[in-house]
């Protein structure tokens, strides 16, 4: 380790040099974002001068199966033991989740006789809507601090990492699972194949698995969403690649939905092989579109680093111009993606006075790396920024509606993805 500008930078050897799925040797770099702290490692002010560990943030693409992936530098247990993301603090996401639950109940005729398990159930934001309809539920959430909030809501929750071992234990305990939901957990899974194996073990013969994940590779590449890349995201998927992975474990996608949430997500509907009669036209259409896009050609991945650099330059131009004009700048939100963006672009307190966030677990702390302070959203009224930069750009509409009062003093909103936009 070397001391550098009061931060501890560590050059760790990448643990993963073979593909997480097919064990092919990884050589083609997809994105190299330099050294970065863990995106959810928010800093207590009294610890701001004690040193901060930075890790390499580099992703590779497998030239055989085209799984984009990050080497593991930190134990998942350390990353997720005390997690700072609570789903319930996004009103739009909670509303989306309620609609999602209602649609699943209708589509798959889920009732009081069925057991629904959610993996990475967070604070019970989704399972609560099944529970309201008296449908049996069980959450699996490794982050103990987040799981406690779910338990307080009456959602039974296991605080363990999911895999084949836990799946077998649940089967032995008499659990018969008709529906497994895994929202935004697959990218967070270092032991990818063991996770998928666990799904195959746990689900009933005619049960349904619904996997939803963000950082879908097609919009990620198209819109240069490099801020989706951080240490908690071990893998980044296309439909083509995840289909191959599931099929290895005798699981079959029978339908897929494209979603706008998180800047572009996929929702997969999966059953055991032999349990589906037909695949949907949506699935066929999207696989065809991916093929035409070139998702299984290495050339599609080779230029992404240049796209990132161009975006960094445009972001720097905005902040430099605003600084020269003595504009007051604040941010809204303290998401992981925002921390990737700010650290890679080297935008810190020289440009941004502070950020605000609804999550009390983040308020009073500092953003990792940049050490920008996090306040309650009420701070915006007091400061009256000229520009309010929306870091969780995927929640732009919700935040603009909440903060519309900044227009009274001529304040403007800014998003940095897919490109810098002032409005």
Query: Both tokens of residue 232?
Result: 């908690």
In order of 130, 291, 340, the CA distances from 135 in angstroms are: 5, 40, 39
315 located within any domain: no
179 and 214 share one domain: yes
Give the other-Cβ count within 10 Å of 330's Cβ.
22
Contact, 328 vs 384, CB < 8 A?
Answer: yes
pLDDT value for 412 = 98
In a domain, 107, yes or no: yes
Coil, helix or strand for 373? strand
354 in Cβ contact with 331 (< 8 Å):
yes
Give the contacts of 46 (CB within 8 A, at least 6 positions apart): none
Residue 167 lies in a domain: yes
Q: Which domain holds residue 46?
A: 2-71
Indicate if 117 and 250 belong to the same structural domain: yes
Residues 49, 24 share a domain: yes
Considering the domain architecture, whether residues 345 and 273 belong to the same structural domain is answered as: no
Residue appearing with tokens 């008296």: 134
Q: Are residues 130 and 234 in the same domain?
A: yes
Burial of 371 (0-12, 13-18, 19+ CB in 10 A): middle
Assigned token pair, 317: 């131009």
151 inside domain: yes
Residue 4: the pLDDT is: 36
The residue written with tokens 């990050």 in the block is 70
Geometric angle at alpha carbon 91, from 224 and 156, rounded to 5°: 105
User: Which residue, of 44, 71, 98, is where some domain finishes?
Assistant: 71
Helix, strand, or coil here: 400?
helix
Q: Are residues 143 and 55 in the same domain?
A: no
Residue 244: the pLDDT is 97
pLDDT value at position 89?
Answer: 56
What is the rounded CA–CA span in Å between residue 221 and residue 295? 10
- pLDDT of 16 > 70? The answer is no
The confidence score (pLDDT) of residue 13 equals: 44
Residues 52 and 94 occupy one common structural domain: no
Residue whose structure tokens are 């579109």:
289
59 closest CA partner among 275, 243, 323, 304: 304
Q: Which is more confident, 245 or 52?
A: 245
Overall domain count for the chain = 3
- Mean pLDDT, rounded, for 293-320: 97
In this structure, of 1-10, 366-375, 412-421, the range with the lowest mean pLDDT score is: 1-10
Tell me the CATH number at 172: 3.40.50.150
Cα separation, 357 vs 375, whole angstroms: 6
Q: How far apart are CA 246 and CA 405, in angstroms?
A: 48
- Which CATH number do you get for residue 337? 3.40.50.720
Q: What percent of the chain has pLDDT over 90?
A: 82
Strand pairing partners for 180?
117, 209
Per residue in 24-80, pLDDT (tens digit) is 999 999 999 999 999 989 999 999 888 898 999 999 999 999 999 997 655 555 555
Query: Of 71, 101, 125, which residue constitutes the final position of a domain?
Result: 71
Provide the pLDDT confidence category of residue 10 given band limits of 50, 70 and 90: very low
Whether the bond into 418 is cis, omega within 30 of 0 = yes
Verify that 48 and 131 share a domain, yes or no.
no
Which value, in Å, is the radius of gyration of the alpha carbons in the chain? 22
Same-domain pairing of 217 and 171:
yes
Examine the pLDDT at 85 and tell me if it is beyond 60: no
Claim to verify: residue 123 and residue 197 sit in the same structural domain: yes
Per 3-state DSSP, the chain is made up of helix, strand and coil in percentages (nearest 5) of 35, 25, 40
Q: Do 47 and 64 contact (CB within 8 A), yes or no?
A: no
**In this predicted model, what pLDDT tens digit does every residue of 151-197 receive, in sequence order?**
999 999 999 999 999 999 999 999 989 999 999 899 999 899 999 99
* 314 domain-assigned: no
In a shared domain, residues 101 and 236 = yes
Pick from 71, 105, 122: which residue ends a domain?
A: 71
- Residue 94 confidence (pLDDT) above 90: no
In the block, residue with structure tokens 């069980």: 138
Whether residue 167 sits in one domain with residue 30: no
Cβ within 8 Å of residue 215, ≥6 positions away: 187, 225, 228, 229, 233, 236, 237, 262
**Going along 164-297, which residue ranges are E strands?**
177-183, 203-213, 235-236, 251-259, 265-272
Q: Please enumerate in sequence order all residues whose Cβ is within 8 A of that of 150, keeping only pairs 6 or more positions apart, or say none.
A: 121, 122, 123, 124, 127, 139, 141, 157
Confirm whether 168 is domain-assigned: yes
In a domain, 331, yes or no: yes
- 81 located within any domain: no
């Amino acid at each position: 380790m070397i001391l550098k500008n009061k931060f501890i930078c560590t050059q760790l050897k990448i643990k993963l040099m073979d593909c997480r799925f097919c064990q092919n040797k990884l050589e083609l770099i997809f994105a190299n974002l330099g050294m970065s702290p863990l995106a959810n490692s928010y800093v207590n002010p009294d610890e701001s001068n004690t040193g901060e560990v930075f890790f390499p943030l580099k992703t590779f693409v497998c030239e055989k199966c085209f799984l984009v992936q990050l080497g593991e530098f930190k134990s998942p247990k350390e990353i997720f033991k005390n997690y700072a993301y609570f789903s319930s603090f996004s009103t739009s996401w909670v509303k989306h989740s309620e609609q999602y639950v209602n649609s699943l109940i209708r589509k798959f005729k889920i009732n009081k006789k069925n057991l629904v398990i959610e993996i990475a159930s967070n604070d019970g934001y989704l399972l609560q809507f099944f529970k309201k309809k008296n449908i049996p539920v069980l959450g699996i959430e490794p982050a103990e601090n987040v799981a406690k909030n779910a338990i307080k809501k009456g959602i039974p929750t296991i605080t363990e990492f999911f895999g084949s071992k836990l799946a077998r234990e649940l089967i032995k305990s008499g659990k018969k699972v008709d529906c497994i939901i895994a929202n935004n957990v697959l990218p967070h899974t270092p032991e990818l194949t063991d996770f998928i194996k666990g799904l195959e073990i746990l689900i009933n013969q005619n049960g349904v698995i619904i996997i939803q994940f963000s950082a879908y590779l097609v919009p990620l590449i198209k819109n240069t969403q490099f801020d989706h890349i951080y240490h908690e995201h071990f893998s980044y998927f296309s439909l083509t690649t995840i289909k191959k992975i599931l099929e290895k474990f005798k699981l079959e996608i029978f339908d897929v939905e494209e979603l706008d949430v998180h800047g572009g997500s996929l929702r997969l509907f999966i059953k055991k092989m032999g349990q589906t009669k037909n695949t949907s036209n949506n699935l066929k259409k999207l696989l065809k579109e991916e093929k035409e896009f070139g998702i299984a050609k290495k050339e599609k991945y080779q230029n992404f680093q240049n796209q990132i650099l161009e975006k960094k330059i445009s972001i720097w131009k905005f902040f430099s111009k605003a600084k020269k004009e003595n504009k007051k700048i604040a941010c809204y939100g303290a998401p992981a993606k925002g921390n990737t963006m700010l650290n890679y672009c080297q935008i810190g307190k020289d440009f941004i006075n502070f950020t605000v966030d609804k999550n009390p677990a983040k308020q009073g702390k500092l953003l990792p790396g940049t050490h920008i302070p996090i306040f309650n959203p009420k701070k915006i009224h007091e400061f009256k920024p000229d520009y309010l930069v929306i870091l969780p750009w995927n929640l732009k509409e919700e935040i603009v509606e909440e903060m519309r009062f900044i227009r009274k003093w001529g304040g403007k909103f800014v998003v940095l993805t897919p490109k810098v936009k002032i409005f």
